[in-house]
Amino acid sequence: MVPAAIQHQNQIKLRQENQTLRQQLDQLSKLREENDRPSNLVAQASNSKLQASEQFSELLGLRAEVGQLRQQTIELATLQKEYQQIHNQMTP
């Protein structure tokens, strides 16, 4: 009977150690996640900056295109006006 009691106590101790190890593993996993978070945030910030830079470049390109289109519109209006004046002079 004594060996059975000792074996039972050993099992209890092993279960407690097992539980403790599981808790430590859980804590370690949480710490890893917390440790990885800053790296992930830096990566996201870098991607956001790159994306913002690309969007800004695209915006500048679109603004330049709008400027060209406005200039072409002004030139077209001027040509239409000149054409109308010439047309009016040629028609009796």
Chunked into runs of 10 residues, the chain (92 residues) has average pLDDT values of: 81 93 94 87 84 92 95 95 90 76
Which tokens go with 85?
């004046």
Among residues 86, 10, 82, the alpha carbon closest in space to that of 2 is found at 10
- The length of the chain in residues reads 92
DSSP state of 91: -
Distance CA 41, CA 4 (A): 55
pLDDT at residue number 1: 61
Which tokens go with 7?
């074996």
Q: How many domains does one find in the chain?
A: 1
Domain ranges, residue 54: 1-92
pTM metric for this prediction: 0.49
CA 27 to chain centre: 29
